[in-house]
Amino acid sequence: MTTEQDRGEARCNQVLDAAATCFRQRGFHGASMAELARAAGMSVGHIYHYFENKEAIIAAIVERDVAEILALLDSLHDEEDILQALIREAGNEMEESPCSDEALQVEILAEASRNPKVAVTVHEGDRRARTRLAETIASGRARRGLPPLADLEARTEIIIALFEGLMLRRIRHPKAVDDATIAVLRSTLHTLLET
């Protein structure tokens, strides 16, 4: 039996999925609430029942993305060797996901560069993901008996930059992420995580 909360969550996700498609295709400002409503199969008023405005929709998309990253990092703590699990998982998402995911991320970042409310959302989501990644690296090194990293924050930034850079490369060069690229990425992560 589905509860009212489950139905509400499903409707929110329906709106977020529709918004993601519209934002990818037409941009944040080009996609109207009427278009979002049509894509979601509901009325504009119904969307406003769940989200105050398009900024709130972007905030929810960012939160959903951050939740996925945090869940992935949390799942690695069950691994015997967290660092090897991080390296093993590196690039799997990029090989499997369509480039349209990158287009949505770029659209959100572009909006964050000109909209202070969206910037706060993006900055906070980044802080949470960055902090959890650093904690995961530190935990993995401790389990291995490796010394703490004095430059952990810098290494975390470089790791994130590698992934974000590859995301942008896929927009410019859709076949940029192949087996050879993933192998080099994993080798680079080995150096950053284990030395």
Place of tokens 């202070």: 116
In this chain, the answer to whether the domains covering 1-51 and 60-194 adopt an identical fold is no
pLDDT tens, the chain, 195 aa long: 568 778 888 999 999 999 999 999 999 999 999 999 999 999 999 999 999 999 999 999 999 999 999 999 999 999 999 999 999 988 777 655 555 688 899 999 999 999 999 999 999 999 999 999 999 999 999 999 999 999 999 999 999 999 999 989 988 998 888 999 999 999 999 999 999
CATH architecture type of domain 1-51: Orthogonal Bundle (1.10)
Q: State phi, psi for 90 to the nearest 5 degrees.
A: -60, 125
Q: Which residues contact 9 (CB under 8 A, 6 or more apart)?
A: none
pLDDT tens-place string over residues 113-147? 999 999 999 999 999 999 999 999 999 999 999 99
The secondary structure of 112-150 as a DSSP string is: HHH-HHHHHHHHHHHHHHHHHHHHHHHHHHHHHTPPPPT
CATH class of the region 60-194:
mainly alpha
Give whole-number Cα distances, 4 to 7, 10, 11, in Å: 5, 10, 10
pLDDT at res. 94: 65
| Ranges of each domain in the chain | 1-51, 60-194
Say if CB 33 and CB 47 are below 8 A apart. yes
